Amino acid sequence: MKSQLKGNALIVKNFINENNDLEQVKNLYKLSVLNRITIIKIDGSVLYDSASDTKESHKDRKEVIDAIEKTEGFEVRYSHTLKEKMIYYSVMHNNVVIRVAQDYSEIDKKLMNDIISNIFYYILLNFFLFLMYRVILKKYYFEKLTHMQKIIESGKEAKELYLEKDKDLIGFWHVIKDWQNKNLENIDVLKEEKEKLRTIIETIDLGILVISSNDKIMSYNSEAKYLFFNNSEGTRYFEKLKCTEIISFIQKSMKLTEDITEEIHLRESGKYFIAKSKYLNDHSKFIFTFRDVTHIREKSKLEKKFITNISHELKTPLTNIKGYMYVIEGEEDKEMQKSFIDTVNRNIERLEAIIGDFLNFQRIEANKIVTNSPVNISDIVFKIAEEMDKLIEKKKAKIVPTYIVKDSNYYINIDSEKIKTLLKNLIENAIIYNDKESPEIYVVVEEGLNFIKYKVKDNGIGMPEKELNKIFDSFYRIDKARTSNIAGTGIGLSIVKEIVEIHKGDIKVESKEGIGTEFIVKIPK
């Protein structure tokens, strides 16, 4: 239409150029198919308009501005003069603008009809494609997706599908595959963490019970099963548990629905437990833990007994010293004074021995860590003999060591401080509790493949068999030692027993009255 109007404008331009008469333009308009011909001055005033007698300035019309600036102009717009949509073309000629116009409304209607027809056509086409998707494509892709779903639900490792022809699915499948593989990794991590948690719960020294609000035991560890369960097949706690004290504590906790901590004593077994309850409000469950504190209670009793015994043991020599010192002050007989002073000195030595053994016992109790290092065992035995030289000289004792070890220089890997204390106490007892004129103590150190054995044998007073299981108790001395006023403290063998237990070893005693005693200590490497 622009080309057509451009041709019409050229005709008008040529016609004006030949006739130079606006009246002739009117005749041309009558002969043409144009809707409108307008001649406009540069200032915008209208010289001629075939459609109206308008005097309105056309200077602001776009097609007029373009014709003045660019020699031609083109515009499609609504005409307020003709009340119709028009298409305009203008051209510059001899300081006037020649503008021709044509009705555009019919063309506009035709275009709109074409647009509506195309919209309707594409709606039908899309509907047809949608039906194809539902009937054909949906079935095809759903089969592929169903196959993917089966792989994912199976929990197997996601591998490639045959999607070479379905490139639109390849990207989607890679996302699904990565997601599935990541999930499988997470599942493995969760299984590992669950197993770790289960192992921790099974190895801690706590009985653990998880009970729901409807009285059912939901979970437990082996410690709780071993301590509290009977052989019942029931699932509720009062059916499954054999201890009435535990059942009473659980009933109390569930009734109050709050956290409780109590000490429970089981009369049947004699054990003591610290019981705790935790209510999980969000899950309507209770967690119960039971810690065995029997050994703590027993240790507390032993400590009290130990303090009582040592107080008694210290009080006796102190009383003797005080009494003899009082007697010495008033005694004029030099021989009697000397005898009393000897008695005081013996009691002082006994006090020193008791305090020394007590300190050794406390030191061993405070340091239960075994620190091994290569040590010359012959040097240790020699130093023990040096430290006890006065006792050895007084009793005319003889120590006979024997070393059956791998190293020719007698080096073995031991905790030197603890083993020295152990041997010293055994050797000292072998000398003290000996009524022979020449006590003989045989010390044997034997190194095996996985153990080291220490033997201390004497030819002393020996012990009755009925008392052998009591000699490792603190401050215990056999009747013969008491009546003979032998200066032992009764702590030495307790220290020996403690050192053996720290090393996770064992100790045996073989003894015959009047013949002697042999201690055999076996400690793993």
Beta strand residue intervals within 94-228, DSSP E: 96-103, 206-212, 217-220
> Per the domain annotation, does 399 fall within a domain?
yes
pLDDT digits over 506-520, tens only? 999 999 988 999 999
Q: Are residues 250 and 382 in the same domain?
A: no
* H or E element at residue 264: strand 260-265
Tell me if 429 sits within 8 A of 397, measured CB to CB.
Answer: no
Last residue of a domain, one of 70, 87, 103: 103
Task: Give the pLDDT confidence score for residue 168 in this predicted structure.
Answer: 65
- Taking 50 as the threshold, does the pLDDT of residue 482 lie above it? no
Give the integer Cα–Cα distance in Å for 421 and 125.
Answer: 102
Classify strands 398-404 and 440-447 as parallel, antiparallel or unpaired: parallel
pLDDT digits over 316-352, tens only? 778 878 887 877 877 777 788 788 888 888 778 777 7
Residues above pLDDT 70, as percent of the chain: 87
Tokens encoding 6: 């451009």
> Per the domain annotation, does 259 fall within a domain?
yes
Residue 327 belongs to domain with CATH number: 1.10.287.130
Residue 70 belongs to domain with CATH number: 3.30.450.20
Among 21-25, 266-270, 357-361, 382-386, top mean pLDDT goes to 382-386
Residues above pLDDT 90, as percent of the chain: 26
- Taking 80 as the threshold, does the pLDDT of residue 363 lie above it? no
Residue 438 belongs to domain with CATH number: 3.30.565.10
Ramachandran angles phi, psi of 74, nearest 5°: -145, 140
Task: Give the pLDDT confidence score for residue 55 in this predicted structure.
Answer: 80
C-alpha angle 151-156-158 in degrees, rounded to nearest 5: 65
Last residue of a domain, one of 292, 325, 356: 292
SS (H, E, C) 278-347: EEECCCCEEEEEEEECHHHHHHHHHHHHHHHHHHHHHHHHHHHHHHHHHHHHHCCCHHHHHHHHHHHHHH
> Per the domain annotation, does 152 fall within a domain?
no
Q: Are residues 514 and 384 in the same domain?
A: yes
Task: Give the pLDDT confidence score for residue 474 in this predicted structure.
Answer: 59
Task: Give the pLDDT confidence score for residue 484 in this predicted structure.
Answer: 42
Tell me if 263 sits within 8 A of 275, measured CB to CB.
Answer: yes
Q: Are residues 312 and 238 in the same domain?
A: no
Tokens encoding 328: 């010495």
Q: Are residues 498 and 486 in the same domain?
A: yes
Q: Are residues 376 and 499 in the same domain?
A: yes
pLDDT digits over 173-186, tens only? 777 777 777 887 88
Task: Give the pLDDT confidence score for residue 490 in this predicted structure.
Answer: 64
> Per the domain annotation, does 448 fall within a domain?
yes
pLDDT band for position 72 (cuts 50, 70, 90): very high
Q: Are residues 411 and 334 in the same domain?
A: no
Q: Are residues 401 and 444 in the same domain?
A: yes
Which of these, 429, 501, 431, 509, lies nearest to 470 by C-alpha position?
509
Q: Are residues 391 and 493 in the same domain?
A: yes
> Per the domain annotation, does 52 fall within a domain?
yes
Q: Are residues 408 and 501 in the same domain?
A: yes
> Per the domain annotation, does 144 fall within a domain?
no
pLDDT band for position 483 (cuts 50, 70, 90): very low
Say which residues have a Cβ less than 8 Å from residue 212's Cβ, sequence separation at least 6.
Answer: 218, 284, 285, 286
As for how many domains the chain has, the answer is: 4
Give the integer Cα–Cα distance in Å for 518 and 457.
Answer: 4
SS3 label, residue 414: strand
Q: Are residues 285 and 305 in the same domain?
A: no
What mean pLDDT, rounded, does the chain reach? 83
Q: Are residues 280 and 304 in the same domain?
A: no
Which of these, 6, 14, 64, lies nearest to 39 by C-alpha position?
64
> Per the domain annotation, does 108 fall within a domain?
no
- Give the burial string for 245-263 (b: 16+ CB within 10 Å, else e): bbbebbeebbeeeeeeeee
Q: Give the domain extent around 233.
A: 204-292
> Per the domain annotation, does 310 fall within a domain?
yes
Of the listed ranges 63-72, 156-165, 356-365, the least confidently predicted one is 156-165
The residue that leads in pLDDT, 368 or 126, is: 126
Last residue of a domain, one of 335, 366, 397: 366
Q: Are residues 267 and 345 in the same domain?
A: no
